[in-house]
Every structure is written in structure tokens, then in C-alpha cells.
């Protein structure tokens, strides 16, 4: 095990996969000489050269479309889109290209690329640099979506994503890059895409979250414990394919569910979780599913305004209490 | 550098142009009888562009085209019977009926592929060229796109990166004068679009898109440049769409006299005339007759082929919800 920061874990995954497989290459804005605005690709251009680590123009639409067809042509591209807020610019490539041709040309092509991006609020980056648009990508058939919270899962899932034969959108969070954690060495670190993890066992209510919201859910569980409420926290890790088995197992035990997502509420990822739970767990539920997500509005800049909007431990704990009331 | 088609190549180009024209005519007839599904975008009049440009490529070179790509499908060497089968929604089609006439793809001939999002074929070929460059392969990608697609933002982004990185890609701009119903001069402030190449640091050339030999020469030179590491070329092939936007088009916006002028310059007649001098009119007539018969047989076979059943197409690994 090695103690490292989340950004370092990602860097180490990229380095190891590029060493392991000469068809892996990276491109994106500011990722080369500068090492990425969040320093995830620090040192990689020096090690692998300008052919395999490319600084690009500001061209998210074409970059994503090019990642799709480069992946059809023998390489495994890893594209960095600097902010999740820029994901709408990438959507034709995901919705009308990657999602379509994997099926139409099945057996002829595979589309093994990774689109890394980071979202989330809390540091005053404003309405165009703080959103979580998870549902925009999780909505698209044929695209896998992962959102790890720990350095170990960040490294393990990124390595798995690079090796995966399908397109994977890899969602990071700007407030996680400096978080530290123990990371297994070698291939022991690999994490299977599509597998949730029980972060904290509990018996009264299940809280489902991804990315930074897992940390808020854990804090909520600690607060609930003070009142004698035993909350189970499930880190879904992968948004699609969803580990419905882990969700069913937890609700069969607790009979109460809180779903959490940092994105907008209406048609958001939490809405899909709620619907999936209705589909699969209705008979096990003793109360309606409680949803904690972002209000449906632009994220304001000023600190008290932004803070008031973000889902947090207190809102999650309140939702759990409501589910149990 | 070889940039003139041999007699054998010219014969094959003519054969494929006639195959394409016959495909379009037979599809048009079936559409009138309501025996086709969805709109069909015929390329009558543009055959020289797709067929002659593809003639300079190898099987492992990739080409991306648009919603109007039948000449590229045939030009890249795809089998007429399986093309027709796909257009008629048959299990024996290139995509087993999943794609339809706009979205064919075939890795064996390097036709990857049709694309019905206008402009999407441009970054598609650019991304393939990026892959070839990363892997240091001696391969070329070509995008065949229209004057409508040339106005998209993604066209600018793609050409900029292709020029910047000297990617082995050919941008073949098929200027057929119309984006759906809107004339090119209503879509662009400049008449000649190849002049944009200068802004991307690549050569921009204009050719008569109805002259197969001229298209071949320009494409051969562009492919050679790309293979030598000199980067992309923008070729603007001036041509004309003789049969409207699609089979659902009610027409009326292409002036009759304009259509008549372009019919005088039918690319098949120009290619045939050039060959007449080399091999004689009888041999040319024989090539054309054989191509017409071949396409007729392709329709007969394809229409007898089975339609797909949903059960074998729904649970697809492309949409796997299980991690592999």
C-alpha cells in the first residue's frame, strides 16, 4: 500500500497504463507541459513525449468526436475535458457517435476511450464551472460512467476504464484531488466497473451516493449515530452500469433509502436511482425513497448562496430522519 | 509520384460510377412505389467525387462520409448486394439492418462510415488520422463532406488540429451547391471554400468534381502528402446534386435551367468519353451494361434476403450492463 493524494493516484494510473500499453495516449487542454490544471498529468509529457501526451486547442466538440474514431482505429485515447460544465459540448460525440456505432457496427469496431472530467461545487468557481452533469452522460446507452471518491478507487477504476472495450466517462471532483488515502500496489488496485462498495454497514436506512457525496453521506451517518440511527452508506462508484444487486441487498436489510447526487434534482441521477429502487425494491420499502440533490437553478457565486444550494451531510441526515419518521 | 489513373483504374472507376447511378435510380423507383423506408439521399451527379477519390486509397485507409454517401460506399469497394440489403433493412446487410442507408460501416473495406449528423464525418476522419499518427502507421483517412457541413463549428476545430499536427487526413469537400434547400451563397460569404485551407496551414485545391480523372489526381496528390508526413489537404470538388435533397424532397428550389446545365456535364458521360478514346466505345458500353446488370442482380438477391428479428438484435454487448 502507498499513501497518496487522489490526483497522484490518477497520475499513477495513467503512467502505469501508458507504460503497459503503447496504444494508450492522452490529449486535452493544458495537460502536457503544464501537467493539467489539476496536475493529474504532471510529468507524463516528459516521460512519454509529445506524440502520446498532447496539448490541444480549445475544441471540446472535435476532441471528443476524434477520441471516438481514434478508439475505433487501434488506439486507446484518454481525453481530459477540464470541467464537467463543458460536457454539453461533447454530447454529439457521445450521443450520436459512440452510443450509435458500437451497436450499428457491432463485431467490427470497439470504442475503448476514456473521457476524464471533473465537476462539483464548493469553491466559488461560479455557475459555469461548478456543476455536476452526471445524468447527461449516464443517460446514454453504451457509455459507462464511474465516479470514485477514494484515491484507491480513483486509481483502480481509471486503470479498469482504460482497459475497458467500451467508452467510459470518468467523473472526478475538484474537492477530492488533495484527499489522501492508502492505495494498493500493482494490479491489486484494479476495481471492477459496475461494483458498489459498502462504506459503512448499518441497519436502519441505506444512503446511496457517489464521488464527494459519499463523504457527506459518511458524515451524515456519524451524526445520525448520535441519535441511535444506524445508517448504511453505499458508495455506488459506478453510475452505469448500476450495481442494482448491491442496492437491493442493502434495502432488503434497512427497508429505507436515501439517494444523493450533486447534480440537479429534476431528471437527475438521483431520480434514476429512485426509479430503479421502485422497480426492484418496492416490496422491501417501508417508506418512500428520499432524494437529496441540487435545487434546479444556476449555481450562484457568493459563498453563502453556493453553500446553501449544495447537498451536504445535514441535508442527507434530515432526509434519513424523514424516511424513518 | 503517380497521380494519373491507369486505363484499368479508369475502367474500374467508370464501372463503380455506373453501379452507383443504377443504385440511385433503382432506389428512386422503389421509393416511388413506397417500397423503401425513411428518406433516401441520392448522389446522382456526384459519382465522380466519391468513386475517383476512393480509388487512390488502400483497404486499410479509412473514409468517412455523410448521409449522401452511396458513391463512397461503392467507391471504397463495398459489395452492392450487401449495400442494397442494408438499405432494404435485411439481415444480410452490412449492419444487419441496424444502420440503414445513411449509417453503413464496413471495416474490411475501410468505409467507416456513413454519418447523418452533418459535419460529424470531418472530426471522425481526423480522429482516425490522429490514431494512425500516434501509432506511426502508413495510413490515411479521408472525410467526404458537403458545403453544408463546411459551415459547422466542428469543421473548423477539426481542420485546425489536422493542420496543427500535420495529420494524415484528406478533407474532400464535395460542393454540390446546396445544403438541404439553401444555396451555398446563402450559407457562406465566399464562393470558393478551398481558400479556407490557408488559415489551417494546408494546401487548398479546387477541382471539377464531375471529372473523375481530375478528382483522382487531386486525391492522389493529397494522399501522397499525407503519407509523407506533410499533413492534410483540402480539396474542393465542384459538383451538383441532380436529384434533390432526398426522396422526401418536394423540390422547386433548384432552377430547371441549372439542373439542365449540369445534366449536360454528367460525370458518367465525361468519364465514358475519356475512356472511349482509350479503349473504344464498344468496350465502354460493355462495362456500363455489365454494371447495370450487376446492380439489378444485387437488388434481386437482396430483396429475397430475410428481414431481421428483434430477438437477435436487442441484447447487444454494445449496451452491456455487465462489466467485462
Q: What is the pLDDT of residues A264-316, one digit of tens each?
A: 999 999 999 999 999 999 999 999 999 999 999 999 999 999 999 999 999 99
A15 confidence band (pLDDT: 50, 70, 90): very high
Secondary structure class of B211 (helix, strand, coil)? coil
DSSP structure class, residue A140 = S
Peptide bond into B113 cis (omega under 30): yes
Residue B16 near residue B75 (C-beta atoms within 8 A): yes
Other C-beta atoms within 10 Å of B66: how many? 26
- How far is C-alpha B188 from the geometric centre of its chain's CA atoms? 22
Distance CA A80, CA A96 (A): 20
Chain A residues in contact with B324 by the CB 8 A cut-off are 164-166
Other C-beta atoms within 10 Å of A309: how many? 18
Distance CA B226, CA B172 (A): 13
Structural domains in chain A, sorted by start:
2-189 (3.40.50.970), 197-324 (3.40.50.920)
Give the pLDDT confidence score for residue B321 in this predicted structure. Answer: 62
Pick from B133, B154, B316: CB nearest A61: B154
Q: For an interface test with A, give the residue of B118, B123, B156, B159 to mutate (most A CBs within 10 A).
A: B123
Give the pLDDT confidence score for residue B322 in this predicted structure. Answer: 45
CA distances from B58 to A48, A256, B15, B103 (A): 31, 61, 18, 21
Q: Are the Cβ atoms of B123 and A66 closer than 8 angstroms?
A: yes
B1 confidence band (pLDDT: 50, 70, 90): low
Q: Report the candidate in B294, B296, B284 with the shortest Cα–Cα distance to residue B11.
A: B284
Q: What is the pLDDT of residues B52-66, one digit of tens each?
A: 999 999 999 999 999
Residue B123 near residue A62 (C-beta atoms within 8 A): yes
Task: State the average pLDDT over residues A204-224.
Answer: 98
For residue B172, list its beta bridge partners: B144, B235
Interface of B with A in 284-303 (CB under 8 A): none
Percent pLDDT > 90 in chain A is 99
Distance CA A79, CA A99 (A): 17
Q: What is the pLDDT of residues B63-110, one digit of tens each?
A: 999 999 999 999 999 999 999 999 999 999 999 999 999 999 999 999
Q: Write out the catalytic residue numbers of A.
A: 60, 129
Q: What is the pLDDT of residues B252-304, one digit of tens each?
A: 899 999 999 999 999 999 999 999 999 999 999 999 999 999 999 999 999 99
Q: Report the candidate in A289, A282, A294 with the shortest Cα–Cα distance to residue A122.
A: A294
Q: Are the Cβ atoms of B131 and A73 closer than 8 angstroms?
A: yes
Residue A212 has pLDDT above 80, yes or no: yes
Residue B75 near residue B111 (C-beta atoms within 8 A): no
Q: Are the Cβ atoms of B161 and A62 closer than 8 angstroms?
A: yes
Q: What is the pLDDT of residues B175-231, one digit of tens each?
A: 999 999 988 889 999 999 999 999 999 999 999 999 999 999 999 999 999 999 999
Axis crossing angle, helix A60-72 with helix B121-134, rounded to the nearest 10: 60
ipTM metric:
0.96
Residue B324 has pLDDT above 70, yes or no: no
Give the pLDDT confidence score for residue B315 in this predicted structure. Answer: 66
A187 confidence band (pLDDT: 50, 70, 90): confident
Residue of chain A with shortest Cα separation from B140: A73
- Within an 8 Å CB–CB cutoff, is residue B107 touching chain A? yes
Residue A263 near residue A269 (C-beta atoms within 8 A): yes
Interface of B with A in 218-277 (CB under 8 A): none
Correct CATH for B7-304 of 3.40.1180.10, 3.30.9.10, 3.40.50.970, 3.40.50.720:
3.40.50.970
Chain B residues in contact with A165 by the CB 8 A cut-off are 324
Chain B residues in contact with A238 by the CB 8 A cut-off are 323
Nearest chain A Cα distance for residue B242, angstroms? 29
Other C-beta atoms within 10 Å of A54: how many? 22
B323 confidence band (pLDDT: 50, 70, 90): very low
Peptide bond into B175 cis (omega under 30): no
Task: State the average pLDDT over residues A90-111.
Answer: 96
- Within an 8 Å CB–CB cutoff, is residue B6 touching chain A? no
Residue B46 near residue B244 (C-beta atoms within 8 A): no
Chain A residues in contact with B106 by the CB 8 A cut-off are 108
**Complete DSSP assignment for A275-302:** HHHHHHHGGG-SSPPEEEEE-SSPPPSS
φ/ψ region of B195 (left if φ > 0, alpha if ψ in -120 to 50, else beta) reads: alpha
DSSP structure class, residue B253 = S
Residue A77 near residue A114 (C-beta atoms within 8 A): yes
Residue A197 near residue A234 (C-beta atoms within 8 A): yes
Residue B170 near residue B219 (C-beta atoms within 8 A): yes
Secondary structure class of A79 (helix, strand, coil)? strand
Residue A200 near residue A218 (C-beta atoms within 8 A): yes
Q: Are the Cβ atoms of B134 and A63 closer than 8 angstroms?
A: no
For residue B173, list its beta bridge partners: B145, B236
Q: For an interface test with A, give the residue of B127, B159, B169 to mutate (most A CBs within 10 A).
A: B127
Nearest chain B Cα distance for residue A194, angstroms? 6
Distance CA B162, CA B160 (A): 6
Handedness of CA B269, B45, B65, B93 (dihedral sign): negative
Q: How far apart are the first and last CA of chain B?
A: 48
Amino acid at each position: 500500500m502507498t499513501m497518496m493524494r487522489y490526483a497522484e493516484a490518477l497520475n499513477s494510473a495513467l503512467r502505469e497504463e501508458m507504460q503497459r500499453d503503447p496504444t494508450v495516449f492522452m490529449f486535452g487542454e493544458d495537460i502536457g507541459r503544464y501537467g493539467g490544471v489539476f496536475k493529474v498529468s504532471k510529468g507524463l509529457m516528459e516521460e512519454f513525449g509529445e506524440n502520446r501526451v498532447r496539448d490541444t486547442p480549445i475544441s471540446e466538440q472535435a476532441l471528443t468526436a476524434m477520441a471516438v474514431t481514434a478508439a475505433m482505429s487501434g488506439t486507446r485515447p484518454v481525453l481530459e475535458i477540464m470541467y464537467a460544465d463543458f460536457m454539453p459540448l461533447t454530447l454529439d460525440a457521445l450521443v450520436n457517435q459512440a452510443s450509435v456505432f458500437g451497436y450499428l457496427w457491432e463485431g467490427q469496431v470497439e470504442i475503448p476511450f476514456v473521457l476524464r472530467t471533473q465537476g462539483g461545487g464548493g469553491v466559488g468557481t461560479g455557475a459555469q464551472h461548478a456543476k455536476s452533469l452526471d445524468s447527461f452522460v449516464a443517460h446514454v446507452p453504451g457509455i459507462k460512467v464511474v465516479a470514485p471518491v477514494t484515491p484507491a478507487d480513483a486509481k483502480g477504476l481509471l486503470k479498469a476504464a482504460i482497459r475497458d472495450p467500451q467508452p467510459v466517462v470518468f467523473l472526478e471532483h475538484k474537492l477530492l484531488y488533495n484527499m489522501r488515502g492508502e492505495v494498493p500496489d500493482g494490479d491489486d488496485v484494479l476495481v471492477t466497473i459496475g461494483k458498489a462498495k459498502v462504506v459503512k454497514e448499518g441497519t436502519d436506512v441505506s444512503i446511496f451516493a457517489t464521488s464527494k457525496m459519499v463523504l457527506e453521506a459518511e458524515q451524515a451517518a456519524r451524526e445520525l449515530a448520535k441519535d441511535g440511527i444506524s445508517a448504511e452508506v453505499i458508495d455506488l462508484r459506478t453510475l452505469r452500469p448500476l450495481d442494482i444487486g448491491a442496492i437491493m441487498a442493502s434495502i432488503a436489510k434497512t427497508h429505507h433509502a436515501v439517494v444523493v447526487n450533486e447534480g440537479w434534482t429534476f431528471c437527475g441521477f438521483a431520480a434514476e436511482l429512485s426509479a430503479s429502487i421502485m422497480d426492484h425494491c418496492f416490496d422491501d420499502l417501508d417508506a418512500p425513497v428520499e432524494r437529496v440533490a441540487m435545487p434546479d437553478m444556476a449555481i450562484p457565486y457568493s459563498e453563502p448562496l453556493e453553500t446553501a444550494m449544495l447537498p451536504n451531510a445535514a441535508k442527507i441526515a434530515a432526509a434519513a430522519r424523514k424516511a424513518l419518521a | 509520384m503517380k497521380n494519373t489513373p491507369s486505363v484499368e483504374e479508369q475502367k474500374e472507376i467508370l464501372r463503380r460510377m455506373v453501379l452507383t447511378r443504377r443504385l440511385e435510380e433503382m432506389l428512386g423507383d422503389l421509393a416511388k412505389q413506397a417500397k423503401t423506408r425513411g428518406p433516401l439521399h441520392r448522389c446522382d451527379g456526384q459519382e465522380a467525387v466519391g468513386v475517383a477519390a476512393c480509388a487512390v486509397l488502400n483497404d486499410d485507409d479509412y473514409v468517412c462520409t455523410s448521409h449522401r454517401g452511396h458513391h463512397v460506399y461503392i467507391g471504397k469497394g463495398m459489395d452492392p448486394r450487401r449495400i442494397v440489403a442494408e438499405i432494404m433493412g435485411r439481415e444480410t446487410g452490412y449492419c444487419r439492418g441496424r444502420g440503414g442507408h445513411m449509417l453503413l460501416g464496413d471495416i474490411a473495406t475501410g468505409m467507416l462510415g456513413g454519418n447523418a449528423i452533418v459535419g460529424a464525418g470531418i472530426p471522425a476522419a481526423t480522429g482516425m488520422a490522429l490514431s494512425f499518427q500516434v501509432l506511426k502507421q502508413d495510413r490515411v483517412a479521408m472525410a467526404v463532406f458537403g458545403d453544408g457541413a463546411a459551415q459547422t463549428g466542428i469543421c473548423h476545430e477539426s481542420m485546425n488540429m489536422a493542420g496543427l499536427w500535420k495529420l494524415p487526413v484528406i478533407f474532400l469537400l464535395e460542393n454540390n451547391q446546396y445544403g438541404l434547400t439553401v444555396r451555398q451563397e446563402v450559407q457562406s460569404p465566399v464562393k470558393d471554400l478551398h481558400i479556407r485551407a490557408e488559415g489551417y496551414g494546408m494546401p487548398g485545391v479546387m477541382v471539377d468534381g464531375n471529372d473523375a480523372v481530375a478528382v483522382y489526381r487531386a486525391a492522389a496528390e493529397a494522399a501522397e502528402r499525407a503519407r509523407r508526413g506533410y499533413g492534410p489537404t483540402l480539396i474542393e470538388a465542384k459538383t451538383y446534386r441532380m436529384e434533390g435533397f432526398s426522396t422526401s424532397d418536394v423540390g422547386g428550389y433548384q432552377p430547371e435551367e441549372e439542373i439542365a446545365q449540369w445534366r449536360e456535364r454528367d460525370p458518367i458521360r465525361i468519364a465514358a468519353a475519356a475512356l472511349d478514346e482509350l479503349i473504344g466505345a464498344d468496350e465502354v458500353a460493355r462495362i456500363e451494361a455489365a454494371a447495370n446488370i450487376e446492380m439489378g442482380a444485387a437488388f434481386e438477391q437482396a430483396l429475397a434476403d430475410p428481414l431481421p428479428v428483434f430477438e437477435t438484435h436487442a441484447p447487444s454487448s454494445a449496451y452491456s450492463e455487465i462489466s467485462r
